[in-house]
């Protein structure tokens, strides 16, 4: 099966640009489950699936152990893994912040050059229409989208991210960005947590 690609606007490009700069991106059909990798290893190597699972669990356990000790870990010939750190507050003077204000953050993986080369497919084809990336609609400006939202909330007690996406024609990430900005600017209030978070007008909003 050939790898497929499509194009997306370069991040930061204005959504209303007539001819936005594009970049190619692979179109995947979801993640290949680890169970499939296990099945293929067992079939090609003669190892039992339980043995493969056990080895992988031990690799995960010891990789996590050494990363938690501040080490950079080599994972076979594929990648190196190391933890990033994050300060709980802005640092202006290193003498003013203590260890209790610094914590481990996400783990960063750096793939090995040889592994990158092995992953390069030989053939690429343009994705068919059914698999192309969906773009957010540019039908409305941000101000118009906000007015649409307020009109909706005059008739309904709340709105979800999915409902707002359908209302505005925006894809998930852009819809979430709109709603988050309006919450930050106190135009909206929220209740609950994802994936059940809802958005409402503030109690003191004059149009309520």
What CATH number is given to the structural domain containing 168?
Answer: 1.10.10
- Give the structural domain span for 178: 142-200
pLDDT, position 77: 94
Q: Does residue 44 lie in a domain region? A: no
Of 151 and 11, the structure prediction assigns the larger pLDDT to 151
Q: Does residue 180 lie in a domain region? A: yes
The whole-angstrom separation of Cα 203 and Cα 208 is 7
Q: Which residue has the tokens 């979430």?
A: 176
Q: Does residue 136 lie in a domain region? A: no
Among 19-23, 37-41, 115-119, 145-149, name the one with the lowest average pLDDT.
Answer: 19-23
Structurally, the chain folds into a number of domains equal to: 1
| pLDDT one-digit tens code per residue, 15-66 | 555 677 888 988 887 788 899 999 999 999 999 999 999 999 999 999 999 9
Q: Does residue 113 lie in a domain region? A: no
The crossing angle, in degrees rounded to 10, of helices 49-68 and 34-45 is: 120
Stretch (H or E) spanning 181:
helix 172-184
Report the length, in residues, of the chain: 208
| pLDDT one-digit tens code per residue, 121-138 | 878 998 887 677 666 666
């Amino acid at each position: 099966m050939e790898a497929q690609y499509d194009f997306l606007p370069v991040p930061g490009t204005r959504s209303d640009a007539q001819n936005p700069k594009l970049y190619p991106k692979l179109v995947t059909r979801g993640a290949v489950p680890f169970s499939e990798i296990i099945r293929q290893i067992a079939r090609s190597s003669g190892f039992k699936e339980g043995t493969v699972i056990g080895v992988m669990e031990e690799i995960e356990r010891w990789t996590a152990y050494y990363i938690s000790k501040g080490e950079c870990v080599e994972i076979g010939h594929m990648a190196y893994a190391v933890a990033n750190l994050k300060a709980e507050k802005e640092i202006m003077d290193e003498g003013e912040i203590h260890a209790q204000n610094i914590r481990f953050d996400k783990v960063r993986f750096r793939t090995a050059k040889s592994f990158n080369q092995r992953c390069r497919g030989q053939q690429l084809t343009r994705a068919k229409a059914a698999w192309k990336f969906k773009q957010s609609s540019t039908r409305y400006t941000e101000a118009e989208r906000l007015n649409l939202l307020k009109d909706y909330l005059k008739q309904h007690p709340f709105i979800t991210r999915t409902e707002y996406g359908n209302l505005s024609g925006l894809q998930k990430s852009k819809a979430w960005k709109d709603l988050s900005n309006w919450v930050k600017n106190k135009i909206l209030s929220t209740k609950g947590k994802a994936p059940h978070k809802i958005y409402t007008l503030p109690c003191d909003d004059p149009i309520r």
